[in-house]
Amino acid sequence: DTEVTQTPKHLVMGMTNKKSLKCEQHMGHRAMYWYKQKAKKPPELMFVYSYEKLSINESVPSRFSPECPNSSLLNLHLHALQPEDSALYLCASSQPGQGAVGYTFGSGTRLTVV
């Protein structure tokens, strides 16, 4: 299995809703990432988990809350989002220390906040 699976593929939520994005990989990767990507921009790093521990939080607002229940799963809990949070949210995984092979990305969740 060489994929990163993200669910749901599309999500529309109101500003008072609580929702979660899910990510799963079975490649044995021990680093997992959340990225946010706006149209015509490169991916923007949000969080990094290394060996199931949060190692990087790129000053992301607290309305985004990551969770790594185990080495295969990564969640992003969303609460009280703003319309400007609408974007493609990408999950990625990699093996720590393997700089040459890059990350494996999921297909993303297209989030629209109304």
Partner 1 sequence: DQQVKQNSPSLSVQEGRISILNCDYTNSMFDYFLWYKKYPAEGPTFLISISSIKDKNEDGRFTVFLNKSAKHLSLHIVPSQPGDSAVYFCAASLMDSNYQLIWGAGTKLIIKP
Q: Which positions touch partner 1 (CB under 8 A)?
A: 4, 6, 31, 40-43, 45, 48, 50, 55-56, 88, 90-92, 94, 96-108, 110
* Residue 10: alpha-carbon gap to chain centroid: 14
Q: What angle do CA 7, 13, 19 make, to 5 degrees?
A: 50
Nearer to partner 1, 69 or 102 (CB): 102
| Cβ at position 36, least distance to partner 1 in Å | 12
* Residue 80: alpha-carbon gap to chain centroid: 17
| Cβ at position 14, least distance to partner 1 in Å | 22
